[in-house]
Amino acid sequence: MQEKTKQILVLILVVSIVVGFVVPGMVLDGSDDEFKTPVKEEKLCQSEQDCWLVCGEKPKAVPCVKNLCEITKCEEVSVLGEVGEVQNTAKLKVVINDKERELPINTTKKSSFVSFEEKGVIITHAKNVHLGYVFEMLGMQFNKDCLVTETKESFCNDGSKELRLLINGTQNYYYEGHVVENGEEILIEYDD
């Protein structure tokens, strides 16, 4: 009799395990949206040309930021804004150890959001173009800690030398997040 009881208990255990796995799968068949995490589609890019969308019959410029298309659907809006909504002209100057550094405007990535004119003149074509994006289009990196040139030279805060951002002569602490405005004189200095 004990052997029969063991078999019944094992059978009940097996049925419980099967029911434990099957019933939740039947109840939560994947169609319940509250359990799904929305996943943003990512599209790799090397330049803005890899990101363009056709919305209706109109092409839409999409920025390529850190090798990812910022948006992938027509209904999404770029944080930089829409191309053509403004045209801001500013002067950008980089001075390292008291020497002005020429910006590599001939080797820049093509962008509908920012263009580079004669020595140090930048023109933004959307309302929220920030310095981080401008420097990325120059093949450089810029943030509160470092300026990395197109040749991969680094100029970083190290205790003896400091990186500073001045907008129209006033120190600014937004660094790569600073949105370029019309008529600004932007100076980035690195020295002691």
Query: Per residue in 75-93, pLDDT tens?
Result: 999 999 999 999 999 999 9
pLDDT the model gives residue 142: 97
- The dihedral over CA atoms of 137, 138, 139, 143, expressed in degrees to the nearest 10, equals -90
Does some domain include residue 111? yes
Does some domain include residue 150? yes
57 with 114, same domain?
no
Query: Per residue in 5-29, pLDDT tens?
Result: 877 777 787 777 776 766 666 555 5
106 with 142, same domain?
yes
154 with 128, same domain?
yes
pLDDT the model gives residue 113: 95
Does some domain include residue 141? yes
Query: Per residue in 122-180, pLDDT tens?
Result: 999 999 999 999 999 999 999 999 999 999 999 999 999 999 999 999 999 999 999 99
Does some domain include residue 74? yes
Could you list the residue range(s) of the whole structural domain that residue 49 is in?
39-78
pLDDT the model gives residue 5: 80
Does some domain include residue 50? yes
| Residue 124, both tokens | 């933004």
Does some domain include residue 122? yes
53 with 126, same domain?
no
**d(C-alpha 113, C-alpha 133), whole Å:** 9
**d(C-alpha 15, C-alpha 9), whole Å:** 10
Residue 34's pLDDT band, with cuts at 50, 70 and 90, is low
pLDDT the model gives residue 72: 94
pLDDT the model gives residue 78: 92
